[in-house]
Structure 1
Amino acid sequence: MNKILIFLWLSINIQCQTQKVIIPQTDKFFEKFNIENFNKSAVRGMLELQNNGEKSLQDFQSPGYRERNYNSDSFFKTNKFFFNNGNIEKKGVLFNVGSQVGIWYYFDESGKLIKEENTDEGYIFTPEDIVKYCKKNNIELSKGYHESEGYQTSVYKSELNGKKVWKISYLISFNKQEKEVELILDGQTGKVIKKEEFPYDSY
């Protein structure tokens, strides 16, 4: 009997752990872009770095530089933008394909923190809730970096009639035809406000 109880407890604990949504963290501290290394190693204006399942892509912006960081096990990425002098301009987290989430940090050209923006303000239905909703409803979200230009589910914040909402766009297959679904969820409750389907042509 004790063995059965222990097994059940372990099963529940493992399920809880697998359901936990991991979102990358950023901080409000100063960072410096390595311009010298980028200029030396970049190929056609792009530098790709790999480290323990994480991929970093560095490129030019106009003006300045950008760094995108992807984790192969995460639905989220971090973006960092830098001034021409290499000092951090802003940084934060986004869905791999979609809107900003959490706190974004903004700096002046000298590297001084000038603003913190809570991009989740007004949303009780959180980014973690979105991931769980998609999993429950068999909506595939992209993990990590994808080189292909194929369709990927997107998650964006928006407003509808003055109300904060989430917009999820994804593909379904029906009778060997693909359709794009646009789903609007209430940003407070997560309830479906609107659902539309459109013919999808991949060409």
Structure 2
Amino acid sequence: MATGTFMGIIVKCTKLSLLTFLLMMVGCKQQVNEGKTISKKKSNYIEKNKMEKFDVGKFAAEMLKDEGYSGYYLKDGTYVQEGYMPKPNASSQPFDTSAVLTYDQQIITPDNYTKINEFYASGQLKKSLLMFSVDLETGLWKYYDEQGNLTESIDKDKGYKFTLENVIDFGKAKNIDFYKEGDVNRGFDEKFKKNVWAVSWFERKINEDAVNQIYLLDGDSGAELNHITKPAPVMR
């Protein structure tokens, strides 16, 4: 049984009012990592492990031992989720490497980064993508041929002089740690005709109703273009 593929679930928001988008999504669950040590940069696992090859032998052994195998945890709280996409019409039970089209891997760190890798059946890296927060595309997205040659590299941070690190500092000034919670997104805003950052978080105070803080920031200067405070949705 295939344990899942992750490459088709990335959400990208372009050429829309990001403020409107956030207002529509205000009831969605925001990610919170409680009780974990949060670093000030990408986890060392993402930085030091380029994951140039997938360990096909180890994955096959885990799958033959347990068809429900889906990954493992590291000591720092990083979760490495693994799966595969079977070839069309191929039998997936019991697991057989000859039935694999591609392998998939998500490296989910405690500091809100997710690295998404896809591998050829040989274990050679096919593509490597990086996400932050709920669905922010960031970093260099790299694509490779079956011989391991880099065929394309896309800088997802291009066009934003006000960087992700600047946005995280903005959050800290508002007493919010985007490494732990909240939503960070960006894209071209039709109303302001420019690249913008859209950030939001739930603010909770003792003896007061929770509210949702939503900010729109200029992608070049970081200037506040809009700010809305809304009552947080009531969970029933």
- What TM-score results when the alignment is normalised by the length of structure 1? 0.71
User: Hey, what does 2:233 align to over in structure 1?
Assistant: 200
3-state SS of the aligned residue for 2:165?
helix
Question: Given the alignment of the two structures, is residue 38 of structure 1 paired with residue 59 of structure 2, yes or no?
Answer: yes
Question: Given the alignment of the two structures, is residue 139 of structure 1 paired with residue 176 of structure 2, yes or no?
Answer: yes
User: Hey, what does 2:214 align to over in structure 1?
Assistant: 182
User: Hey, what does 2:135 align to over in structure 1?
Assistant: 98
User: Hey, what does 1:64 align to over in structure 2?
Assistant: 102
CA offsets per residue over residues 84-128 of structure 1, 9 Å max, x none? 442212214321433122222111344321111111110000011
Shift of 1:54: 5.1
For 2:71 and 2:119, the matched residues in 1 are separated by: 15
For 2:62 and 2:208, the matched residues in 1 are separated by: 45
- Structure that is richer in strand per residue: 1
User: Hey, what does 1:12 align to over in structure 2?
Assistant: none
Contact (CA 8 Å) 2:114, 2:130: kept in 1 or not?
A: yes
Q: Structure 2: which 5+ runs fail to align?
A: 1-38, 86-100
Q: Give the alignment partner of residue 83 of structure 1, picking from 104, 116, 120.
A: 120
CA offsets per residue over residues 134-160 of structure 1, 9 Å max, x none? 1111123244xxxxxxxx411112110
For 1:23 and 1:50, the matched residues in 2 are separated by: 15
- CA pair 163-32 structure 1, distance change in 2 beyond 3 A: same
User: Hey, what does 1:166 align to over in structure 2?
Assistant: 197
Shift of 1:129: 0.5
User: Hey, what does 2:78 align to over in structure 1?
Assistant: 55
Determine which structure has greater relative contact order: mean sequence separation of CA pairs < 8 Å that are 6+ residues apart, divided by chain length.
Answer: 2
Contact (CA 8 Å) 1:67, 1:79: kept in 2 or not?
A: yes
Q: Cα RMSD between the aligned structures? A: 2.8
Shift of 1:185: 1.0
For 1:83 and 1:202, the matched residues in 2 are separated by: 43
Shift of 1:169: 2.0
Contact (CA 8 Å) 1:88, 1:111: kept in 2 or not?
A: yes
Q: Which runs of 4+ in 1 moved over 4 A?
A: 24-27
Aligned pairs for 1:7-22 within 5 A: 21-22=40-41
Contact (CA 8 Å) 2:131, 2:138: kept in 1 or not?
A: yes
**Letter aligned with residue 127 of structure 2:** K
For 1:102 and 1:159, the matched residues in 2 are separated by: 18
**Letter aligned with residue 208 of structure 2:** K
**Letter aligned with residue 222 of structure 2:** G
Shift of 1:23: 3.4
For 1:101 and 1:55, the matched residues in 2 are separated by: 19
3-state SS of the aligned residue for 1:105?
strand
Q: Structure 1: which 5+ runs fail to align?
A: 1-19, 144-151
Percent of residue pairs identical: 22
- What TM-score results when the alignment is normalised by the length of structure 2? 0.62
Contact (CA 8 Å) 1:26, 1:91: kept in 2 or not?
A: no
For 2:126 and 2:132, the matched residues in 1 are separated by: 20
CA offsets per residue over residues 27-83 of structure 1, 9 Å max, x none? 9x77111122123225524111314x15242222546333233444x3434332223
For 1:163 and 1:45, the matched residues in 2 are separated by: 45
**Letter aligned with residue 64 of structure 1:** T
